Amino acid sequence: MNDVLVVGAGLAGLHTATLLAEQGHDVLLVERRTNLTSAIRTTGIFVRKTLDDFPLPAECLGPPIRRVVLYPPDLRRPVTLVSGRDEYRVGDMAPLYVAAAKRATSAGVRIALGTRYAGRVGNAFGLVGRHGPTQVRARYVVGADGARSRVARDLALDRNLHLLIGAEEVFAVPGSDEPPTFHCVLDPSLAPGYLAWVVNDGQHAHVGVAGYAARFPDGMRKALERFGKEAPGLSRAERPVEVERRGGPIPVGGLLRRISCADGLLVGDAAGAVSPLTAGGLDPCLRLSTLAADVLDEALRGRPDALTHYDGAALRAHFRGRLMLRRGLAQVRTPAAASAAFKLLRTPLGQAAARRILFGDRSFPTS
Ligand SMILES: Cc1cc2nc3c(=O)[nH]c(=O)nc-3n(C[C@H](O)[C@H](O)[C@H](O)COP(=O)(O)OP(=O)(O)OC[C@H]3O[C@@H](n4cnc5c(N)ncnc54)[C@H](O)[C@@H]3O)c2cc1C
């Protein structure tokens, strides 16, 4: 019998598994992908608070970014915001996941790649791997299996209903005279309910769109294609024929209320731990995983009621403001409305608000 079965080796699953193993518990981590360097679903922008609080390997992080440029739909008269501090760094995600897996293995986590969690079978959990189906037993199961979590369904916990979808192309760029910059375009015909972006840190460019699936006028792929042709911030960078493609769902309904029960809990996207406004999920998934590992450690040491303190409903109260702003952004449905909203951004008040969101010290609250 394992102490804990963790399903999903994204950042949330790797972090939870590592912390539990470091506390002396016996952890099996299963991941359906056969390697951690393919099918990456994130741009990998880490915010300052995460870089301050979590020991991410420096060699897996791009140059610091201090400059954000915000554009209306016609891309004219953008608003440039520059921070006095390093605000973001883009992770080189493939080596970053590999480094996290190495740390997990060193701590004693057994990682089974190419192994899909297939559901509960009585007191056991069904897995399908290279050698066919098997069953394992564990005192607790952790759903770190992303926005459409199978574990959440099996444990009868809450599930993400409010999702954006996002996609991006990633390619290396030649050095540039422009400082590393995060370009954001507010245009609901390209990115309905969210933003289109170019992150160019002088090493790599990420060109992406995200929004409500049903609202893309010609589908997300076409929107990304269209944006790629006119995207700002790529003046000297040529898009190569071969690019890395990333994409996936992004839960933006806020932290789910019921994220634990007597048999286990949810972390990361599975728990809805993503900022409803910025759609950033890397900081939340690390912070919530730390809390989850503490709670499970307590439970495994003979205090099973510790799991009741892992309560999404209580934490969710901190998200009221961000949920309200998400509803506001979702209401911007036409380029004309976006241009009108953009006028606010040109005022000192609007810029102060944007700076608070983009460069603020707030992080994902876990207490
Ligand atoms: C296009 C895009 C760009 C983004 N950019 C950023 C960004 O720049 N900054 C930021 O902070 N956030 C960003 N996000 C959000 C952020 O990436 C996620 O919130 C974060 O990666 C979630 O990590 P996770 O470990 O919970 O989930 P995931 O990384 O999705 O990991 C879940 C894992 O579970 C595995 N899995 C699923 N089902 C099973 C199963 N049945 N059996 C076994 N394994 C299973 C999957 O293969 C996957 O590896 C972005 C999201 C998208 C879609």
- Distance between CA 176 and CA 212 in Å, rounded? 33
Q: Which pLDDT does position 277 carry in this prediction?
A: 86
Kindly indicate the confidence band of residue 255, based on its pLDDT and cuts at 50, 70 and 90. very high
72 within ligand 1 shell (Cβ under 6 A): no
Distance (Å) of CA 47 to CA 77, 131, 190, 348: 26, 41, 25, 24
pTM score of the predicted model: 0.96
Q: What is the pLDDT, as a whole number, of residue 237?
A: 61
The tens digit of pLDDT for each residue in 276-331 reads: 888 999 999 999 999 999 999 999 999 999 999 999 999 988 878 888 888 888 88
* Domain-embedded: residue 11: yes
C-alpha torsion angle, residues 292, 297, 299, 305 (rounded to 10):
-50
In a domain? residue 365 = no
Give dist(CA 39, CA 115) in Å, integer: 15
Q: Is 325 exposed, middle or buried (0-12, 13-18, 19+ CB in 10 A)?
A: middle
**142 close to ligand 1 (CB < 6 Angstrom):** no
The CATH number of the domain holding residue 209 is: 3.50.50.60
What token pair was written down for 60?
A: 């897996």
**Strand residues in the chain grouped as ranges (E):** 2-7, 27-30, 45-47, 67-71, 79-82, 88-90, 110-112, 116-121, 124-129, 132-136, 138-143, 163-172, 181-185, 196-200, 204-211, 244-251, 260-261, 264-266
Choice from 145, 265, 289 to test ligand 1 binding pocket (greatest atom count within 8 A of CB): 145
Mean pLDDT of 78-84: 96
Alpha helices in the chain (DSSP H): 11-22, 48-53, 93-107, 150-154, 220-230, 282-300, 312-316, 320-330, 335-345, 348-359
Q: Greatest CA separation found in the chain?
A: 62
* C-alpha 235 – ligand 1 centre gap (Å): 30
Which residue's CA is minimally distant from atom 27 of ligand 1?
Answer: 146
Alpha carbon distance, N-terminus to C-terminus of the chain: 32
CB 224 within 8 A of CB 167: yes
Confidence band of 190 (pLDDT split at 50, 70, 90): very high
Domain membership flag for residue 64? yes
Instruction: Compute the distance between CA of residue 312 and CA of residue 292 in angstroms, rounded to an integer.
Output: 11
Mark 226-249 as b/e (b = at least 16 C-beta within 10 Å). bbbeebbbbeebeeeeeeeebbbb
Which among 40, 43, 155 is the best mutation to test ligand 1's pocket, defined by most ligand atoms within 8 Å of the CB?
43
Task: Name, of 127-136, 168-177, 335-344, the range with top average pLDDT.
Answer: 127-136
Our answer on whether the CB atom of 280 is closer than 6 Å to any ligand 1 atom is yes
Per the rule left: phi > 0, alpha: psi between -120 and 50, beta: everything else, 298 is: alpha
**Amino acid, single-letter form, for residue 82:** V
Strand partners, 181: 67, 200
- Identify the pLDDT of residue 180: 96
In-domain check, residue 219: yes
According to the model, what pLDDT value does residue 86 have? 96
Q: What average pLDDT score do residues 88-93 get?
A: 98
Q: Is 29 in the pocket of ligand 1 (CB under 6 A)?
A: no
pLDDT > 80? residue 42? yes
Establish whether residue 250 lines the binding site of ligand 1, counting it when its CB lies within 6 angstroms of any ligand atom: yes
Q: How far is 272 from 255, CA to CA, in rounded Å?
A: 4
Query: CA–CA separation, 157 vs 288, rounded Å?
Result: 16
62-66, 336-340, 360-364: least confident range = 360-364
Is 367 contained in some domain?
Answer: no
pLDDT > 90? residue 132: yes
Give the number of other CB atoms < 10 A from CB of residue 276. Answer: 24
pLDDT at 236: 61
Task: Domain of residue 295: give its range.
Answer: 2-359
Tokens encoding 117: 């969690």
Measured from the Cα of 14, ligand 1's closest atom is: 25
CB 166 within 8 A of CB 212: no
Q: Has residue 365 got a pLDDT over 90? A: no
Whole-number Cα distances in Å, 34 to 8, 118, 130: 12, 16, 9
pLDDT at 175: 75
Mean pLDDT value across the chain: 94
Task: Give the chain's domain count.
Answer: 1
Least confident interval from 139-148, 230-239, 264-273: 230-239
C-alpha to C-alpha distances, 251 to 97, 243, 275, 292, 353, nearest whole angstrom? 21, 26, 9, 19, 24
Residue holding tokens 């290279």?
130
CB atoms within 10 A of CB 28: 21
Percent of the chain with pLDDT over 90: 83
Q: How far apart are the C-alpha atoms of 143 and 158, rounded to whole Å?
A: 12
Token pair listed for 189: 């015909």
Task: Please check whether residue 366 lies inside any domain of the structure.
Answer: no
pLDDT at 367: 61
Mean pLDDT of 237-258: 92
